[in-house]
């Protein structure tokens, strides 16, 4: 049960929780198509604390809360908050605790969300902590795969790009390993998946590491693309050497299954050509739109109203 609990890593969400979230998200999606609000979170306030830039995650969380009938208070820019004056994370969380009923935090330091949960009795949702995890993105990704392909078990998933710093793929690899899937990880050697993530998967035999994109594309049911994250590099020369390492373009589409899908947590830079956008297999914008019903479902579960 997720009632009154924090979601800091994808391990905080059980298989049964996922099934319930998916079912509620289906209902929420119907409600959204009918242009109706749920009105089940009246008088409840969400506080969003974003120490890093965000578009989709912050807006979808805030949209989800509003569509549930609740309210939102937000720190979207640390430069205009007391953080710029030296306020500690602990003190900021203590203040958010007194102003709100649920807290969503994105932070550049891995482990920040877990630390935040220790300074409040209110539920904390991790919206991305450095190169750590992004559990709600993973729930959304799993929901997207289920919705697009009709199932998760039995598929082949190719993950491509920055697997070292990519918190979205860290959470997704751990979650997918709980299903009957095969996972191929393609990245430059310097951006391969960290060993500590592999140690947390349920079955390492499901995972294959490679640097060869072309040989991996034909078998993939899901091609999950990530960008090379400039903000994670301390050496700009290292970043410049890696950008453009892999990309999905019209030639890639020729190699892929006709019923496969392409996903991306966004934003993209040059790792997916815009010419791919017209292909029906390009699911990344549909994936992003799933963020609202999925986060509506998660908030409802945590707040105990569903």
HSE toward the beta carbon, residue 133, CA cutoff 13 A: 24
- What is the pLDDT at residue 182? 95
Which tokens sit at 188? 């430059």
Structural domains present in the chain: 10-133+290-302 (3.40.50.1370), 135-288 (3.40.50.1370)
- What is the pLDDT at residue 1? 83
- What is the pLDDT at residue 230? 59
- What is the pLDDT at residue 151? 96
Q: Give catalytic residues, as residue numbers.
A: 56-57, 85, 106, 134
The whole model's pTM is what? 0.92
- What is the pLDDT at residue 25? 97
The answer to whether 167 and 195 are in contact (CB under 8 A) is: no
- What is the pLDDT at residue 131? 83
Tokens 């949960």, residue located: 117
Q: Cα(61)–Cα(131) distance, rounded to whole angstroms?
A: 20
Give the DSSP letter string of the chain.
--TT--B-SGGGS-HHHHHHHHHHHHHHHHHHHTT-----STT-EEEEEESS--SHHHHHHHHHHHHTT-EEEEE--GGGSGGGGT--HHHHHHHHHHH-SEEEEEESSTTHHHHHHTT-SS-EEEEEETTS--HHHHHHHHHHHHHHHS-STT-EEEEES--SS-HHHHHHHHHHTTSS-EEEEE--GGGPPPHHHHTTSS-GGGEEEES-HHHHGGG-SEEEE----GGG-S-HHHHHHHTTSS-B-HHHHHHS-TT-EEE--S--SSSB-GGGGGSTTB-HHHHHHTHHHHHHHHHHHHTT--
- What is the pLDDT at residue 268? 87
Q: Cα(192)–Cα(186) distance, rounded to whole angstroms?
A: 8
Q: In tens digits, what is the pLDDT along the chain, a chain of 306 residues?
A: 899 999 999 999 999 999 999 999 999 999 999 988 888 999 999 999 999 888 999 999 999 999 999 999 998 777 767 777 788 999 999 999 999 999 999 999 999 999 999 999 999 999 999 888 999 999 999 999 999 999 999 999 999 988 988 889 999 999 999 999 999 999 888 788 989 888 888 777 889 998 889 999 999 999 999 987 655 555 566 655 556 568 899 999 999 999 999 999 998 888 999 999 999 999 999 999 999 999 999 999 999 987
Tokens 């998967």, residue located: 201
């Amino acid at each position: 049960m997720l009632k009154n609990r924090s979601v800091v890593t994808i391990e905080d969400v059980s298989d049964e929780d996922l099934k319930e979230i998916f079912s509620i998200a289906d209902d929420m999606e119907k409600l959204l198509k009918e242009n109706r609000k749920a009105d089940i979170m009246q008088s409840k306030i969400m506080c969003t604390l974003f120490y890093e830039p965000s578009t989709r995650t912050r807006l979808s969380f805030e949209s989800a809360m509003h569509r549930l009938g609740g309210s939102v208070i937000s720190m979207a820019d640390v430069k205009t908050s007391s953080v710029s004056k030296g306020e500690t994370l602990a003190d900021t969380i203590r203040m958010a605790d007194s102003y709100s009923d649920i807290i969503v935090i994105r932070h550049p330091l891995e482990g920040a969300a877990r630390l935040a949960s220790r300074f409040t009795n209110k539920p904390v949702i991790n919206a991305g902590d450095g190169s750590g995890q992004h559990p709600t993105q993973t729930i959304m990704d799993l929901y997207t795969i289920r919705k697009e392909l009709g199932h998760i078990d039995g598929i082949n998933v190719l993950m491509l790009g920055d697997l070292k710093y990519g918190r979205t793929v860290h959470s997704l690899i751990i979650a997918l390993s709980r299903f009957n899937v095969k996972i191929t990880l393609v990245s430059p050697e310097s951006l391969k998946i960290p060993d500590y993530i592999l140690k947390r998967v349920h079955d390492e035999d499901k995972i294959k590491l490679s640097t060869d994109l072309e040989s991996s594309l034909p078998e993939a049911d899901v091609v999950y693309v990530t960008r090379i994250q400039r903000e994670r590099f301390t050496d700009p020369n290292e970043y410049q050497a890696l950008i453009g390492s892999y990309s999905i373009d019209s030639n890639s589409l020729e190699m892929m299954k006709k019923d496969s899908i392409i996903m991306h947590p966004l934003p993209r830079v040059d790792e997916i050509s815009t010419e791919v956008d017209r292909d029906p297999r390009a699911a990344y914008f549909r994936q992003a739109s799933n963020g609202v019903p999925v986060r509506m479902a998660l908030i409802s579960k945590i707040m105990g109203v569903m």
